[in-house]
Amino acid sequence: MAETANLLIVQIDGPNLVTGSVHVVTEIGIRSLGTAMLCRCGQSLDKPFCDGAHARCGFRDPARLPARLDSMPLDSGPLTIRPVPGGPNRCEGPLAIRGADARSASANLTLLCRCGHSGSKPYCDGTHSRVGFRA
């Protein structure tokens, strides 16, 4: 996988750390950041950002990428993260993802779990619908 300016590191039992040219769409506008901590447990009161709720709610996840990974060559440019109401974080733009197991993947469009229940974390598998996730 080629290095990119936008990198997401999945944290064991914690949030996703995203660095690079990151633009997060929120209810009050777009926040341009060099670093963002994104909630993975679904319990943050400051979604899509992490507020430490993973520690309070006992969120556990080994931060390993799924066994089957599809990677693609990355475009260049910024990453825009758009939280889908009641659903995943839609990441539009080049993004390299690294798990705690040192495995990596890359894509120009990525859907990240933010409900905490996906069976393919850090990716969304649609479980948010079944568990009634609201955000």
- The pTM (predicted TM-score) of the whole model is 0.92
- CA gap 83, 76 in Å, rounded: 22
- CA gap 27, 66 in Å, rounded: 31
Least confident of 29-33, 45-49, 69-73: 69-73
Question: Distance from CA of residue 93 to its chain's centroid?
Answer: 13
- Render pLDDT for 42-63 as a digit per residue (tens, 0 to 9): 999 999 999 999 999 999 999 9
Statement: residue 4 has pLDDT above 80: no
Scanning the structure block, which residue is given the tokens 């890359």? 106
Short-list 76, 81, 105, CA closest to 33: 81
- CA gap 28, 25 in Å, rounded: 8
Record the tokens describing residue 24, joined without a space: 């997060």
**Four-residue CA torsion sign, 54, 87, 64, 49:** negative
The full length of the chain comes to 135
Record the tokens describing residue 34, joined without a space: 């060099």
